Structure 1
């Protein structure tokens, strides 16, 4: 097939996904258009304008299928480029605009949510990376439509449910490594964006408790940083002192992989995660996940890897780490969950079947 792939806000996880798709379904001919992940409100509203007039020649070619991310303003783009309206289309949701925790800096309008809804309705099929993502999107659409004043068509949510499915973002084969645990202190790694929605306050509280309890540990704190870094990170660095391992973003993929290989536990304190590729990569390298029992985590990991969230959350995370430390000190082997089913080699046939089914459905409807 000749496939047009549109990634309208090409953040790291989106690029990770579409590069894997192109590399692992190389029997197809791919044309990829991306836009940089900045100026969020302009990008999600303006991507159709940018592409329609900057990439018209590319968009007016003949394609068998369109694969677009949920950030794509698909309904407007099909209006600007009418020939796109007749091409079978899959929209992939890495996230949805209904399930973000509030930072106090929200835009104050529903436009990002409306754009998600319109793009979903303009697609032949919508696919989500987790059931959590799908559920929160459907529930969010239902709640939003109930709030609108009038002229709301019936059956919209039911349409979306009927033509939606779940298929995770697969992990690259290079993520699967031989675990190389180090003797001595328990090695923890926290490998997320340094922003409020990844739970830095919960992390700080848990690490303070470990220090007070005299637990021998080292923390590698890696991940993408931005101009404004939550104050908890500086407080954490001062608290930990010589318990700090690597601190800050790791430029080298090889160095990053080695940190994952050496970690005993890969941590999450996230308030927002639709799949959690960072944690999954840690587990693929052999680290034990210790994650809250919220968001998508309970559908990805066994219950004993998910600490109880809510009241007493930091203490629950501490308990999980201390239990692991006791096992390590006694020489007990602890195996990370097997997530080989999430590799591209395992999941490529599922993606191929999904793409084929969309083009077949469209062909039968003509």
Structure 2
């Protein structure tokens, strides 16, 4: 049996999970992806794209007979030996020809569907016959990055090394994508209010940037000034975890979140979490770590700025071990190896 992994937003924590599954299930795993851009469009239209490009195989199409019969009537699926081949799907023949090219390479974006190799990475949702392009690395298009980013990245350890641990200002981390659905506006308005009151704090703004960056980032960078310890994406995971390990508090202001890997990682690194009392967060974090309004978030941080020792002595009251691969690996394997059921 093959495992087919489909990821229309191949970046950040999504990429991290897909890469982990592909590595752990490498004996027979096919991965098909699209670049991590414009998630709202990917959510609406990527199914159409994958319908045309994912190679048909009975090895991973867990579909009971009654659904196959229905599919027969709708799109003309014909049974040919042990495999099902779809006809009448726009671009299906072209995509199959491209994917079966014997000398295709992974870096081309399309390749033969062999274990651990098939990764389709396209700029938008073109026809399958269009020339493939590679997924782009996060670009430093933000004027707030560039030289400042390099200068700040490991000034962090220099700044902190000369200060007694308990005397350092509160260090706040925001490890999210620089996009509107993570609500950076609320986060920075709270920090600017702390700044107006001359409360001491440091901030590390982490996470990936894309072609469109909310204006609040450039405004906040100027206002926060010397309070900034780090500003921008850290490609090295070790550097990223090192930054989190020096932070005291990790903040989420997200308006759209199904899980929140960045928050779990930060807590695992010793950060005190503050999350909205909404979305998935109440299912993961105890009530002590939730806030309902920006005013509540401000008051919590105001107290922590005055008494950073409160969070530095704090022991997290929730559990993170259950989210580790050691705990979940066997469950993923069991799920992906499940026999087909009538309700699938």
Task: Report deviation, 1:191.
Answer: 1.0
Structure with bigger gyration radius: 2
After TM superposition, the score normalised by the length of structure 1 is 0.60
Paired residue for 2:251, among 264, 267, 270?
Answer: 267
What corresponds to 1:29 in structure 2? 28
Task: Report deviation, 1:267.
Answer: 0.7
SS in 2 for 1:233: helix
Task: Report deviation, 1:9.
Answer: 3.9
Distance 1:331 1:351, change over 3 A: closer
What corresponds to 2:238 in structure 1? 254
Paired residue for 2:193, among 209, 230, 241?
Answer: 209
Task: Report deviation, 1:20.
Answer: 2.1
SS in 2 for 1:361: coil
CA separation in 2, counterparts of 1:50 and 1:199?
Answer: 30
CA separation in 2, counterparts of 1:296 and 1:18?
Answer: 21
Task: Report deviation, 1:34.
Answer: 2.0
What corresponds to 1:194 in structure 2? 178
Q: How do 1:152-191 and structure 2 match up within 5 A?
A: 182-183=165-166, 184-191=168-175
CA separation in 1, counterparts of 2:7 and 2:312?
Answer: 46
Distance 1:200 1:61, change over 3 A: closer
Distance 1:344 1:308, change over 3 A: same
Distance 1:319 1:39, change over 3 A: closer
Q: Does 1:219 align with 2:203?
A: yes
Give CA-to-partner distance per residue, 1:184-222, whole Å, 9 cap, x none. 011111011112221122112211221123221100011
What corresponds to 1:353 in structure 2? 334
After TM superposition, where is structure 1 displaced by more than 6 Å over at least 4 residues in a row? Answer: none
Tell whether the 8 Å contact from 1:5 to 1:66 is kept in structure 2 after alignment. Answer: no
Tell whether the 8 Å contact from 2:249 to 2:311 is kept in structure 1 after alignment. Answer: no
After TM superposition, the score normalised by the length of structure 2 is 0.63
What corresponds to 2:288 in structure 1? 304
Give CA-to-partner distance per residue, 1:120-143, whole Å, 9 cap, x none. xxxxxxxxxxxxxxxxxxxxxxxx
SS in 2 for 1:210: helix
Tell whether the 8 Å contact from 1:218 to 1:244 is kept in structure 2 after alignment. Answer: yes
Tell whether the 8 Å contact from 1:60 to 1:83 is kept in structure 2 after alignment. Answer: no
CA separation in 2, counterparts of 1:42 and 1:243?
Answer: 37
Q: How do 1:40-51 and structure 2 match up within 5 A?
A: 41=41, 45=45, 48-49=48-49
What corresponds to 1:16 in structure 2? 16
CA separation in 1, counterparts of 2:76 and 2:19?
Answer: 27
Q: Which runs of 5+ in 1 are unaligned?
A: 68-74, 88-179
SS in 2 for 1:207: helix
CA separation in 2, counterparts of 1:295 and 1:331?
Answer: 24
Task: Report deviation, 1:258.
Answer: 0.4
Tell whether the 8 Å contact from 1:5 to 1:31 is kept in structure 2 after alignment. Answer: yes
Task: Report deviation, 1:39.
Answer: 6.5
CA separation in 2, counterparts of 1:217 and 1:82?
Answer: 65
SS in 1 for 2:10: coil
Q: Does 1:291 align with 2:287?
A: no
CA separation in 2, counterparts of 1:61 and 1:197?
Answer: 36
Tell whether the 8 Å contact from 2:9 to 2:34 is kept in structure 1 after alignment. Answer: yes
What corresponds to 2:298 in structure 1? 318
What corresponds to 2:320 in structure 1? 339
